[in-house]
Structure 1
Amino acid sequence: MKKFLCAALVSVLSVSAFSTVFAGEISPATGAQPVPFSEVPGIKVGHYTDLENATGTTVIIAENPDGAIGGVDVRGGSPGTRETDLLDPTKTVQTVNAVCLTGGSAFGLDAAGGVMKYLEEKGMGVDVGVTVVPIVSTAVIFDLAMGEDAALGKDMVRPGVEEGYKAAQNAFAGLEWSDGNIGGGTGAGAGDMKGGLGSYAYKYGDLYVGAIVVANPAGQIINPDTGEIVAGKVDPETNSFIDLEEWTMSDRYEMPSSAENTTIGLIVTNAKLTQSEANKLAEMAHDGYARAIEPTHTVSDGDTIFAMSVGNVESSASTWGEVTTNMNLIGVLAVNAMENAIYSAGYNAESLAGVDGAATLREEGRTPSQPE
């Protein structure tokens, strides 16, 4: 957590033209405290992980059978998504039952069908009379070049209906999990190194704001507090990181132009939001990408962030006499949660399929040095 986060939040709330009213026990005096993502109420998280073939699927399910208010913001140049148009506030259905973050590139979108199948069996979705239709918004990363099956072409293993079903099943089983090579982050990369899945959350009174992310950027993952590179491109002769932003600006390196990267994530909160506000929250959270990935939102990335409002905790702000939801507070928490989740994804990734992971390199005493 950033050293001055709590002070910054209090500062934001004390601007003269800005006053804040909270429901329940929310109070600026309590400050924001980091908590495990698993403590965020109103959701279940499940994964399907295939370490041999370096791919997998992660699903975050709203516990309310009627779903949660959802939003999305897509910034990257090469996205692969499903059920994003429905999250437009002008559309009829305002809810989402689950968000699926998966490997497999566009093929991996099939995993959403497995999540839908499982949720339909549990009666969770939009009631259309003859059945319920679960709304499962999905985004994918490109991980087709990772794993033992990468040379099999059309016969390689990719997440599909069966894998999505298992991920949803595991969510309801309540299996424990940790950041790194798991679920949708199993085949993720960052430069020459492993990316992964990361998570982070804050509690602020009764308010929870958390981020879960699959970090698979074309750029490098950095420690947002120190600016040090955690995962990225390495000079094999010196075992030192190469600063991709600096090299790109000096014409010593050209970022890949193919659509082989993407960071996809979700902000989940128990704050009561409208769909417009959920979309705004997803938009604001992209600042977390910019703080933890250098460079970010490149033409190679399909960067996408979803948002889910799974509760009824209310906060309000009055700016120039207009009372609205306190999106400044929720947004600041979301940005900080997202940047720390990305850092955790890179920091906790282990070596896999011949690609070095930061966690393994630390254990072996081979962590690359920082650029000079």
Structure 2
Amino acid sequence: GAGTGAVVGKLGGRERGVKGGIGSAVITLSTGQTVAAAVAVNAVGGIWDYTKGQILAGPRKAGGGFDDSVELLLQGGANAEAGPVNTTIGLVATDAWITKEDANYLARISHDGLALAIRPCHTDRDGDTMFAMATGHNQSTVDLTALGAAAVEVTAQAVLRAVRLATGLGGIPSVSELGA
């Protein structure tokens, strides 16, 4: 199924990566409107826990811990497959009554959530894509800025949850198995 073969932190090569997967998160605004995200995380970059200011997952070091994917890239130590083998794809959904243009805005701004939690993000080796939808069930007055901020936050939270809740598979360990 979706996320089964997902691996993150592949800038040191897939064999040094950590298990990715599917994650979700939801926020309820003061208006009662909800914003949720679901993502399948299979990024070439490492995962940055922006809430703690530290690496959650990345290329595994031989003695334990993780390399910083950005530093690997900048120092010329990156070795990752190019092409369609790396993609983070997701959906941001809200029950707010919004226009098609507003939904496009939520899809665009949710990429900021990917960039909060994936380092580096949107590389030429990734095919990162976010979609947005709205049910329109909650017709409270829309604050698009608040919806956008929530879209960023739930997207970033969903990325972290995808990696934290993953289970190792096929010789690729999860962060929980590594004690990270």
**Aligned residues: percent identity?**
37
Once the two structures are superposed, residues 219-252 of structure 1 have per-residue CA deviations (whole angstroms, 9 ceiling, x without a partner) of 011212112222220112x212111101211223
Do structure 1's residue 274 and structure 2's residue 91 form an aligned pair?
no
Structure 1 match to 2:54: 228
**Amino acid in structure 2 at the alignment position of 1:218:** V
Question: Are the counterparts in 2 of residues 231 and 347 from structure 1 also a CA contact under 8 Å?
Answer: no
Structure 2 match to 1:199: 24
Do structure 1's residue 360 and structure 2's residue 180 form an aligned pair?
no
Please give the alpha-carbon distance, in whole angstroms, between the structure 1 residues aligned to 2:90 and 2:19. Answer: 17
Specify the SS of the correspondent of 1:270.
Answer: strand
Question: Are the counterparts in 2 of residues 265 and 305 from structure 1 also a CA contact under 8 Å?
Answer: yes
Say how many residue pairs are matched: 172
Structure 1 match to 2:146: 329
Structure 2 match to 1:215: 41
Specify the SS of the correspondent of 1:283.
Answer: helix
Unaligned runs of 5+ in 2: 10-16
Q: Looking at both structures, which has the greater relative contact order when contacts are Cα pairs under 8 Å and sequence separation is at least 6?
A: 2
Larger radius of gyration: 1
Q: CA RMSD in A?
A: 1.5
Structure 1 match to 2:163: 346
Please give the alpha-carbon distance, in whole angstroms, between the structure 1 residues aligned to 2:156 and 2:68. Answer: 19
Question: Are the counterparts in 2 of residues 219 and 293 from structure 1 also a CA contact under 8 Å?
Answer: yes
Please give the alpha-carbon distance, in whole angstroms, between the structure 1 residues aligned to 2:54 and 2:82. Answer: 25
Question: Are the counterparts in 2 of residues 286 and 305 from structure 1 also a CA contact under 8 Å?
Answer: yes
The Cα shift of 1:313 comes to: 2.4
The Cα shift of 1:293 comes to: 0.1
Specify the SS of the correspondent of 2:146.
Answer: helix
Structure 2 match to 1:296: 121
Specify the SS of the correspondent of 1:336.
Answer: helix
Which of 186, 194, 209 aligns to 2:4? It is: 186
**Amino acid in structure 2 at the alignment position of 1:253:** A
Equivalent residue runs for 1:75-224 within 5 Å: 184-191=2-9, 192-205=17-30, 206-224=32-50
Question: Are the counterparts in 2 of residues 207 and 313 from structure 1 also a CA contact under 8 Å?
Answer: yes
Unaligned runs of 5+ in 1: 1-55, 57-183, 317-324, 368-372
Structure 2 match to 1:125: none
Runs ≥4 residues deviating over 6 A: none
Please give the alpha-carbon distance, in whole angstroms, between the structure 2 residues aligned to 1:254 and 1:185. Answer: 22
**Amino acid in structure 2 at the alignment position of 1:229:** I
Please give the alpha-carbon distance, in whole angstroms, between the structure 1 residues aligned to 2:109 and 2:83. Answer: 27
**Amino acid in structure 2 at the alignment position of 1:243:** D
Please give the alpha-carbon distance, in whole angstroms, between the structure 2 residues aligned to 1:353 and 1:245. Answer: 26
**Amino acid in structure 2 at the alignment position of 1:189:** V
Specify the SS of the correspondent of 2:87.
Answer: coil
Once the two structures are superposed, residues 131-170 of structure 1 have per-residue CA deviations (whole angstroms, 9 ceiling, x without a partner) of xxxxxxxxxxxxxxxxxxxxxxxxxxxxxxxxxxxxxxxx
Specify the SS of the correspondent of 1:281.
Answer: helix
Please give the alpha-carbon distance, in whole angstroms, between the structure 1 residues aligned to 2:6 and 2:77. Answer: 25
Please give the alpha-carbon distance, in whole angstroms, between the structure 2 residues aligned to 1:299 and 1:259. Answer: 10
